[in-house]
Amino acid sequence: MNKRRITAEITAIGGYVPEDRLTNKMLETMVETSDEWITDRTGIKERRILSDPTMATSDMAVLAIANLLKDSGLQAEEIDCLILATSTPDQLLAPAASLVCEKAGLSSAWGFDLNAACSGFLYALSMGASLIESQRYKKVIVVGADQMSAIVNYQDRNTCILFGDGAGAVLLEPSSTENGIKDYLFKTDGKGAAYLSVPAGGALQPASPETLMEGKHFVHQDGKTVFKAAIKGMGNACQEVMTRNGLMSDDIDWVVPHQANLRIINAVGKRLNFPPEKVKVNIQRYGNTTAATIPLCLWDYQADFKPGDDILLTAFGAGFTWGATYLKWGNLRHNNGQPKG
């Protein structure tokens, strides 16, 4: 008798965004810009900012996990592994995942950070899926969390209008149904590193009075180059994943893209022939939260997804890194620890 392959199914989801809002109107008082320009050029109306100085990325991840555990009815000590996708760890050392395991009470879990910028959550989701498929682990939490406000220059109108803070988490569990992570395709092109980076604070240019004076600890980007590469990268990755799984646009129920710029999202959707109502967008509320955009979008729109729905996730980020993931939505646990069924 043929045993069905074990896949990794998303069975719970959680999210956290800070209370404080940074609106376009507020940005008008900080840099030379306007609500109209930001709305037209990016689709963003406001972002959330973690303004409590005693909190950082790990705390947002902990709150997203707490939300996931509360909603699923699972206990923290039941979790086997944590993968934390982030580009803004609390510190260079120790790993933020260690802090999260401790603060979230994941006492049985091992954990690690994964940095692939805005593609981090998708890369991490594939790693989590592999751990589940190996059948060594039964409950893996994958988090995307970033505190972009810590590395954005609020005097630079090219970047400060784009980014926000937040965290989203999913739980992966083994499934012998048709649901789960079906396929993924990722690319990395280091030639893109020059176009989107935080130049100092790493090993090449450790913090010094000069690096501080020159503002090298902030995000620097060539927006136009990133914009074009993002449309091409996400468009091609989605097309390739669909082709090799025999899928046409009509077969996809939902597209959940990285939320970097509404014009990028619309261009990718148009290129692939997805009607706008299938493409999930929450950029107007949160801006670009880097590794958190996709899980926050899944969290926001979970009520729309039915078990078995065909969903395409796609991301593009610094590096350059990009890719697409195809999954069938799972049965979510709700409150009692049991699968929803």
118 catalytic per annotation: yes
Closer to ligand COA by Cβ: residue 63 or 260: 260
* From 24, 67, 288, 331, the catalytic residue: 288
* Three-class secondary structure assignment of the chain: CCCCCCEEEEEEEEEECCCCEEEHHHHHCCCCCCHHHHHHHHCCCEEECCCCCCCCHHHHHHHHHHHHHHHHCCCHHHCCEEEEECCCCCCCCCCHHHHHHHHHCCCCCEEEEECCHHHHHHHHHHHHHHHHHCCCCCCEEEEEEEEHHHCCCCCCCCCCCCECEEEEEEEEEEECCCCEEEEEEEEECHHHHHHEECCCCCCCCCCCHHHHHCCCCCCEECHHHHHHHHHHHHHHHHHHHHHHCCCCHHHCCEEEECCCCHHHHHHHHHHCCCCHHHECCCHHHHCECHHHHHHHHHHHCHHHCCCCCEEEEEEEECCCEEEEEEEECCCCECCCCCECC
Closer to ligand COA by Cβ: residue 111 or 257: 257
288 catalytic per annotation: yes
* From 101, 118, 238, 297, the catalytic residue: 118
Closer to ligand COA by Cβ: residue 63 or 152: 152
Catalog residues that contact ligand COA under the rule CB under 6 A: 33, 37, 41-42, 118, 157-158, 161, 196, 221, 223-224, 226-227, 230, 260-261, 288, 316-317
Between CA 234 and CA 257 the distance in angstroms is: 8
Closer to ligand COA by Cβ: residue 130 or 153: 153
- Shortest distance (Å) from residue 143 CB to ligand COA: 18
Q: Which residue is nearest to ligand COA (CB)?
A: 223
Closer to ligand COA by Cβ: residue 226 or 281: 226
273 catalytic per annotation: no
- Shortest distance (Å) from residue 151 CB to ligand COA: 12
- Shortest distance (Å) from residue 159 CB to ligand COA: 7
Closer to ligand COA by Cβ: residue 180 or 287: 287
Residue whose token pair is 């927006």: 223
* From 258, 261, 297, 331, the catalytic residue: 258
- Shortest distance (Å) from residue 32 CB to ligand COA: 7
Q: Provide the CA 68 distance to its chain's centre, in angstroms.
A: 16
Burial class (CB within 10 angstroms; exposed 0-12, middle 13-18, buried 19+) of 47:
buried
Contact indicator for 259, 290 with CB cutoff of 8 Å: no
Active site residue ranges:
118, 258, 288
